[in-house]
Amino acid sequence: MHRCDACGACLMRSILSFGDIKRGEFHAMLDNAKQLKSAIKSGRHLRILEGRVVGLLFEKPSTRTRTSFETAVIRLGGSPIYMAESELQLTRGELVKDTARVLGGYLDAIVARVHTHDTVVQLAEWSGKPVINGLSDLEHPTQLVSDMLTIYEIKKRIKGLNIVYVGDGDNVANSLLLAAATVGANATIACPRGYEPNADIMLKAMKIADKTGSVISVINNPEKAAVDADVLYTDVWVSMGEESERKKRMNAFKGFQINSKLLSLAKKDAVVMHCLPAHRGLEITDEVIESKQSIVWQQAENKLYGAAAVLDFAINGKLKVRQ
């Protein structure tokens, strides 16, 4: 937690993990995201980040995360600066903590999309400014903010829903476990053996679930997992940086595809989600992603409003928190 240099009054927060967001804070964040969505879509000129400069430090390619955060900063009245890895001295050996201290003197906040989670940890530790994890090898917390907003819009509730994630127990799956536990939804990760979510995050999610009443589980049978699902969610089988494992992963993930047969096992009103980009014919079929049960495009659009709510929370820290 950092104190604002301008006035010292408001608390600014880094969001490196979904676990950094408390239950009451997250409900308030969702409420704020809904209000910001309405305001932005109506064309209102917002001044929430007026005078603020937000750096977007991206070591990995991005379509949705970059565009949504960059647009959100502008829509909220702030100024974004995009910093690609190839344009920074990090590629020539400068230490992360040195880069962080310099950027902390220029910027009001940093959104970072990085190869290793330790980078966002160091950025937060040394910059003195709020750092938002826009994806690391461990988590993708901002993705789940917009995901939960989307589920709420469609289902009118989140608590008690059965969310089933089919595929790799990757960064998205890790954040999903924490998010579901936080809001009291049931989360099942269906993945091949050896591709389970991070053990420490799993343990943390289960501890949170004990307090919220959600059920957290990991199984290796996608058909069993899909029964009675309210939401079926998937992600790519081969994430950025795992290209050398492609052949091995293609074999391991056979059968872990969201297709019409798997969808038929879920509830009749079940919806399908994918954080994109999608490799049609692998983790999801074209038929399903283009079906009436797919909410993928609403999910993608909501990354803008989730990003706006996260920025407001991290930089301004002025949410009316539910108890």
Per-residue pLDDT tens over the stretch 256-290: 999 999 999 999 999 999 999 999 999 999 999 99
Q: Strand, helix or coil at 27?
A: helix
- How many CB atoms sit inside 10 A of residue 263's CB? 22
- How many CB atoms sit inside 10 A of residue 32's CB? 20
Residue 12: per-residue pLDDT: 77
Looking at domain 2-139+303-316, its CATH architecture is: 3-Layer(aba) Sandwich (3.40)
- Looking at the DSSP bridge assignments, the partners of residue 231 are 163, 271
Q: Is the pLDDT reported for residue 239 higher than 90?
A: no
Distances (CA, A) of 13 to 37, 127, 132, 244: 22, 12, 9, 36
Q: Is the pLDDT reported for residue 293 higher than 70?
A: yes
Residue 11: per-residue pLDDT: 54
DSSP letter for each residue of 193-231: TT-PPPHHHHHHHHHHHHHHT--EEEES-HHHHHTT-SE
The arithmetic mean of pLDDT across residues 93-112, rounded, is 97
Residue 317: per-residue pLDDT: 87
Give residue for tokens 């053990």. Answer: 199
For 33, residues 6+ apart whose C-beta sits below 8 A from its C-beta are 145, 146, 149, 302, 305, 306, 308, 309
Residue 230: per-residue pLDDT: 99
Q: Is the pLDDT reported for residue 214 higher than 90?
A: yes
Which helix or strand (DSSP H or E) is residue 274 part of?
strand 271-274
Instruction: Give the Cα separation of 280 and 288 in Å (integer).
Output: 9
Distances (CA, A) of 304 to 34, 64, 180, 293: 11, 8, 21, 22
**Mind listing the pLDDT tens digit for each residue in 21-76?**
999 999 999 999 999 999 999 999 999 999 999 999 999 999 999 999 999 999 99
Mean pLDDT (the chain) is 94
Q: Is the pLDDT reported for residue 109 higher than 90?
A: yes
Which residues of the chain are in CATH 3.40.50.1370 domains? 2-139+303-316, 143-300
Distances (CA, A) of 96 to 56, 61, 76, 108: 15, 19, 29, 18
Instruction: Give the Cα separation of 172 and 151 in Å (integer).
Output: 16
What confidence category does residue 241 fall into, taking pLDDT thresholds of 50, 70 and 90? confident
Q: Is the pLDDT reported for residue 8 higher than 90?
A: no
Residue 321: per-residue pLDDT: 53
Q: What does pTM read for this prediction?
A: 0.94
List the one residue out of 222, 221, 220, 218 whose CA is nearest residue 209. 218
Q: Is the pLDDT reported for residue 3 higher than 50?
A: no
| Alpha carbon distance, N-terminus to C-terminus of the chain | 21
Distances (CA, A) of 307 to 21, 132, 187, 221: 14, 10, 23, 34
Task: Decide which of 246 and 167 is more confident.
Answer: 167
DSSP 187: E
What confidence category does residue 240 fall into, taking pLDDT thresholds of 50, 70 and 90? confident
Backbone phi and psi for residue 273, each to the nearest 5 degrees, phi listed first? -130, 150
Q: Is the pLDDT reported for residue 4 higher than 70?
A: no
Q: Are 81 and 112 in contact (CB under 8 A)?
A: no
Residue 319: per-residue pLDDT: 67
CA atoms within 13 A on the CB side of 217: 15
Q: Give the domain 143-300 fold.
A: Rossmann fold (3.40.50)
What confidence category does residue 7 fall into, taking pLDDT thresholds of 50, 70 and 90? very low
Residue 5: per-residue pLDDT: 42
